Amino acid sequence: MSYQKYINLKYKPSKDDLICTFKITPGKGVSKLRAIGAVAAESSTGTWTALSTMDEKKMLKIGAKVFEIKGKYVKIAYPYDLFELGNMPQILSSIAGNIFNMKEVKTLRLEDVKWPDKIIKSFKGPKFGIKGVRKIVGVKTRPLVGTIVKPKLGLNEVQHAKVAYEAWKGGIDIVKDDENLTSQPFNKFEKRVVETLKHRKLAEKITGEKKIYMPNVTAETNEMIKRAKFVKKNGGRYVMVDILTVGWSGVQTLRNANLGLVIHAHRAMHGALTRNKEHGISMLVIADIARLIGVDQIHIGTAVGKMEETPEEVIEIKNSITSGKMKSVFPVCSGGLHPGHVEQLVKMLGKDIIIQAGGGIHGHPLGTKDGAMAMRQAVDAVMKGIPVKKYAEKNLELKLALNKWK
């Protein structure tokens, strides 16, 4: 059965269809229609040759259907029967599996997925989301402010806890581990969690504010669950997980454990899939999948920091994970940020964001506490409708930060 039989521009998708938008460039010497049909066929019921086991009528009925072609952009509808509910690995093995390696395509990028209600309901989704996190922290409207303990590797458990304490004391809401700190010889997970949570309690007592610590539980799945339970046992409210390196099954296992912990999703390794605008998988798709499975917060980029992305991409991701029937995921902006970026971020993304700065706090001329104060002052300025530069005239910490990072 030819690949082109999977193209039906008269097809009207049903409410139960999963719809993918792909960006397709045909391989050398391959016609556009063959390349497009090959993607639809190979991601559903088709294969490269005729089969003795083939029932063409049935194959076409449950097979994917190309229903729109606009330049390089192609929309493909996948019937609900192709998928197992609640099984993200199986779904992705179909719509984002072998098709990326086919000779028929030179490049292929999965740009967007529209999920039918039947599939959405088969996943738990966020337990807390924006509203739940705000309730825990006790902050109703302003952007939350977070930091990452720096240096990311090298500090021992007590040093790590003290850096977190200084940040909390200066006004930071959230402190998290970095993506590659788990349980190294110089900084063991259990001791770090105990020490940092002890300092969190002290910071809460001194500041009168709720403070959050997000330990990185990323590990082999059984060990990850063990570490998450340890966090809960010791009074933690949050865990952080590197969603791509731990894998979707691992993330789902963590969510399904129902430990009552907020799940913060770090997107380490996403660039391997997302950076090439012609090939791979968009961050929009990754963020939507993470939301379905049930993370409460996720990194979406900044467009003004050190990471590569456009404002349009970041806004699209933010809008996607905060709209629809499922609870909204808290968008996290992180990567090369400092107090001078706060105005731009809030103007671009609104107030329902977490502004997370590492070097932009710990690199402050007067140290971590003053760096935290500067970041909080920048947020306060925006909330009061005062230009950050003007607010800095009466706030030394903010003034020093703006002078350093012009």
76 and 148 part of one domain: no
- DSSP three-state, residue 365: coil
Query: pLDDT (tens digit, 9 = 90+) per residue, 82-92?
Result: 999 999 999 99
107 and 136 part of one domain: no
Which CATH number belongs to the domain containing residue 353 in this structure? 3.20.20.110
pLDDT of residue 381: 97
d(Cα 392, Cα 370) in Å, to the nearest integer? 13
181 and 55 part of one domain: no
pLDDT of residue 99: 95
Crossing angle of helices 157-169 and 368-384, in 10° steps, is: 30
- Among candidate residues 68, 88, 120, the one where a domain is terminated: 120
Asked if residue 374 lies in contact with residue 400, where contact means CB atoms within 8 angstroms, the answer is yes
Q: How many CA atoms lie within 13 A of 13 on its CB side?
A: 21
- DSSP three-state, residue 348: helix
Query: pLDDT (tens digit, 9 = 90+) per residue, 92-120?
Result: 999 999 999 999 999 999 999 999 999 99
Confidence at 299, pLDDT banded by 50, 70, 90: very high
pLDDT of residue 1: 61
51 and 180 part of one domain: no
164 and 309 part of one domain: yes
* Per-chain mean pLDDT for the chain: 95
pLDDT of residue 302: 86
283, pLDDT greater than 90: yes
- Enumerate the β-bridge partners of residue 331: 298
Could you please report the per-residue DSSP string of 152-221? SSS--HHHHHHHHHHHHHTT-SEEE--TT-SSBTTB-HHHHHHHHHHHHHHHHHHH-S--EEE-B--SSH
Those residues with Cβ within 8 angstroms of residue 17's Cβ, 6 or more apart along the chain or in another chain: 77, 78, 79, 80, 116
Query: Average pLDDT, stretch 210-215?
Result: 98
d(Cα 304, Cα 17) in Å, to the nearest integer? 37
Question: Which position among 23, 65, 75, 150 bears the catalytic label?
Answer: 150
10 and 78 part of one domain: yes
Those residues with Cβ within 8 angstroms of residue 142's Cβ, 6 or more apart along the chain or in another chain: 351, 379, 380, 383
77 and 142 part of one domain: no
Task: Please give the share of the chain, as a percent, with pLDDT higher than 90.
Answer: 90
135 and 107 part of one domain: no
345, pLDDT greater than 70: yes
Query: pLDDT (tens digit, 9 = 90+) per residue, 325-337?
Result: 899 999 999 888 9
- Among candidate residues 89, 120, 151, the one where a domain is terminated: 120
Query: pLDDT (tens digit, 9 = 90+) per residue, 308-320?
Result: 788 999 999 999 9
8 and 102 part of one domain: yes
Query: Average pLDDT, stretch 238-265?
Result: 97
d(Cα 131, Cα 147) in Å, to the nearest integer? 21
- Enumerate the β-bridge partners of residue 187: 184
pTM: 0.95
pLDDT of residue 4: 87
Query: Average pLDDT, stretch 248-261?
Result: 97
62, pLDDT greater than 90: no
- Does 264 qualify as catalytic in the annotation? no
* Total domains, the chain: 2
* Interior/surface letters 373-402, b for 16+ CB within 10 angstroms, e for the rest: bbbbbbbbbbeeeeebeebbeebebbbbbb
d(Cα 220, Cα 192) in Å, to the nearest integer? 19
Domain extent, residue 43, equals 3-120
- Does 306 qualify as catalytic in the annotation? no
d(Cα 99, Cα 107) in Å, to the nearest integer? 10
Residue type, 315: I
62 and 205 part of one domain: no
Question: Which position among 65, 266, 299, 369 bears the catalytic label?
Answer: 266
Query: pLDDT (tens digit, 9 = 90+) per residue, 144-163?
Result: 999 999 998 999 999 999 99
Sheet hosting strand 144-148, strand order edge to edge: 212-214, 174-176, 144-148, 354-357, 330-334, 297-299, 262-266, 238-242
Query: Average pLDDT, stretch 248-276?
Result: 96
339 and 264 part of one domain: yes
256 and 376 part of one domain: yes
Which CATH number belongs to the domain containing residue 19 in this structure? 3.30.70.150
d(Cα 243, Cα 290) in Å, to the nearest integer? 8
φ, ψ of residue 165 in degrees (nearest 5)? -60, -45
Those residues with Cβ within 8 angstroms of residue 184's Cβ, 6 or more apart along the chain or in another chain: 153
Query: pLDDT (tens digit, 9 = 90+) per residue, 29-55?
Result: 999 999 999 999 999 988 767 666 677
Total residues belonging to the chain: 406
- Among candidate residues 120, 138, 156, the one where a domain is terminated: 120
153 CB-contact burial (10 Å; exposed 0-12 / middle 13-18 / buried 19+): exposed
Query: Average pLDDT, stretch 172-194?
Result: 97
